[in-house]
Amino acid sequence: MPRFLKSPVPRSQVTAARADVTDRVRTILDDIREHGDEAVRRYSEKFDNWSPESFRLSPEEIERIVAGVPRQTLDDIRFVQKQVRTFAQAQRDSMLDVEIETLPGVRLGHRHVSVSAAGAYVPGGRYPLTASAHMTIVTAKVAGVPRVAACTPPIRGEIPAATVAAMHLAGADEIYLLGGVQAVAALAVGTESIPGVPMLAGPGNAYVAEAKRQLFGEVGIDLFAGPTEILVVADEQADPFVVAVDLLSQAEHGPDSPAVLVTTSEALAREVEQHIERLLPGMPTKDYAEPAWRDHGEIVVADTLDEAFGIADSYASEHVQVLTENPRQALEKMHDYGALFLGEGTCVSYGDKVIGTNHVLPTRGAARYTGGLWVGKYLKTVTYQEVTDTDSSALLGEVCGRAARVELFEGHARSGDVRAAKYGARALPWNEEAGA
C-alpha cells in the first residue's frame, strides 16, 4: 500500500477558489460579446494598464521591435523553432489521406483539412512565455492554417520584445498586444477590429483557462488546461538532488502548481524533501515555488515500481519524469500522462523550452482522455463518398430502404428506393400509390 509522506491541502479549498474564477470570467465574456472593442479596451486598461491606439502591431512596429532583440536571443528562438517545426512536420507527414474502394465503383475517403484560422495565446504577466509562441504558432503553420492571430499581454506597460520576435519568426499573421480573458474572448467572438477565429490554442493562467473552457463549443480549443503539473517516478537509483531540483523547476510556475514524487525508496524521499527545504529559501521564484510545494506538493512511497507506475497513472499528470534504472519501462507500463520524460539526461524543462515536443499539455486529469497540442489539433479529418457504379448504387439503395424502414425513416428509405429503381429497375410502390 502506498504511504503518503507529504499530502496537499484539502481539495475543498481549491474548489472554492475555482468557483470565483468561473463567475468573474462569465461576466467578462458576456460584456465583450455585447460591447466588443469598447469592453476589450476597458478590461485591458483595468488589468494591464494598456490602451494603445491599436492593439494590433503594424509590420513597421514588429520590424522595429525585432531589430532591438539581442542576436543571441534571436538565434536561440530560431534554434528552438527549428526543433518544434521538425517534430511537428514529422507528425503531419504521418497523417495520410485515405481512399478505398469498398464495392465496385464505391469510393470512400478522408482528408485532413486545416481550420480556416486559429488564435494563439502566448502568456505574459510575470513570466513572458516566449516558448508558447513556438508551440502554438509554428505547429499551426505546419498544419497549414492560413491565418494565425496571436495575442500576448504587455508586461508592466512594456512590450515583451522577445515574445513578439518569437511570434513573428513563428509565422503569426497578426500580432496583438492584448492579454487575459479579454484577448481570448476577442479572438473567439470577434470584435469590430479583431476578426474571430474558429479555434483557440495556448496556455494561460486560471482565468484564461476558464475562458477557454466556457468558450468551448462556440469555438474549438486545443485542450482544457490548468496549473502546471509535474510528477516524478523515481527508484533508489535516482539522484535525490536532481529530483528535488526538477520538482521545484515546475513548482515555480505558480502557487497552485502541483509537484508530486512517487518513489519506491523512502530513503530517497527523505533526502529529496531535505534538498527542497534547503533550496527553496534561495530561489528567486520562491514566492511561487514555496506555496506551490507547501500546499500542493506530495511525496508518495510505493512498495514496487509497478505500483509506482499505477499511482502515477491515477494522477494523469501533465508532465511525468521517470528517473529509474530502466526508464523506458514507463512506455509500456503507463498510459495516462501528458508527456513522458525518460531518464536523467532529459527533464521537463527541456520539453517546456527547447527540445521540440509541444509544451501545451493536458492538466487536472485531462490526460485520461486527451494528449497535448500537436498538428492534428489544427486539422479536421473530413470524409467523402462517391458511387459511380450503377449496380452498386442499386444494391446500396435496396439495403438503405430496408435499413431506414427498420428505424421508421421513410424519407431516408425513399432516397434509397429511387436509386434502386433508377439503376436496378426496382419498383416504387409508394410512387405508384401517389398517382405518378
Q: Catalytic residues, which ones?
A: 318-319
Tell me if residue 304 falls in helix, strand or coil: coil
In whole angstroms, give the CA distance from residue 69 to residue 397.
66
Q: What angle separates helix 266-279 from helix 240-251, to the nearest 10 degrees?
A: 50
CB 120 within 8 A of CB 152: no
CB 29 within 8 A of CB 185: yes
Burial per residue of 362-374, b for 16 or more beta-carbon CB atoms within 10 angstroms, e otherwise: bbbbbbeeebbbb
Tell me if residue 337 falls in helix, strand or coil: coil
Place of cell 465574456: 29
Cβ neighbours for 186, distance < 8 A, ≥ 6 positions apart: 32, 40, 151, 176, 178, 194
Place of cell 497513472: 313
Sign of CA dihedral 37, 40, 46, 47: negative
Cβ neighbours for 30, distance < 8 A, ≥ 6 positions apart: none
Burial per residue of 392-430, b for 16 or more beta-carbon CB atoms within 10 angstroms, e otherwise: bbbbbbbebbeebeeeeeeeebbebbebbbebeebeeee
Written as one string, the DSSP assignment of 138-191 is: IHHHHHT-S-EEEEE--BTTB--HHHHHHHHHHT-SEEEE--HHHHHHHHHH--
What residues pair up with 260 in beta bridges, in sequence order? Answer: 231, 298
For residue 255, the Cα-to-chain-centroid distance in whole angstroms is 21
Residue 251: CB atoms within 10 Å? 30
Q: Which of 116, 185, 181, 119 is nearest to 149 (CA)?
A: 119
Grid cell, residue 301, equals: 512511497
Grid cell, residue 154, equals: 504587455
Q: 379: part of which helix (H) or strand (E)?
A: strand 379-387
CB 205 within 8 A of CB 172: no
